């Protein structure tokens, strides 16, 4: 099935979790927030969040500044 990470298409297996998909596609998950279909998913829920065909994943990187 196909999902989109920051608008780029990626392939993943059926019943893939959010964590599996991020790791399998080499996405650095340190210091980021992740939303699936415009809902922020707490890190503790990444293993329990199953994706569906066409899911839109948005990765938001933390930036420090002043």
Report the distance separating Cα 66 and Cα 49, nearest Å. 34
d(CA 64, CA 8): 26
pLDDT digit string (tens) for 24-56? 989 889 989 999 999 999 999 999 999 999 999
Q: Does domain 2-61 have CATH number 3.10.20.30?
A: yes
| Distance in angstroms (rounded) separating the CA atoms of residues 35 and 37 | 6
* Spatial distance between the Cα atoms of 21 and 54, rounded to a whole number of angstroms: 13
Each domain of the chain, given as residue ranges in start order, spans 2-61
pTM of the model: 0.87
Question: Mean per-residue pLDDT for 16-22?
Answer: 96
Q: Is 32 exposed, middle or buried (0-12, 13-18, 19+ CB in 10 A)?
A: middle
């Amino acid at each position: 099935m196909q999902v989109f990470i920051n608008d780029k298409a990626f392939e993943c297996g059926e019943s893939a979790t959010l964590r599996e998909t991020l790791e399998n596609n080499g996405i650095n998950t340190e210091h980021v927030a992740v939303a699936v279909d415009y809902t922020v998913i707490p890190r503790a829920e990444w293993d329990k969040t199953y994706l569906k065909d066409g899911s839109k994943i948005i990765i938001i990187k933390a930036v420090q500044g002043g």
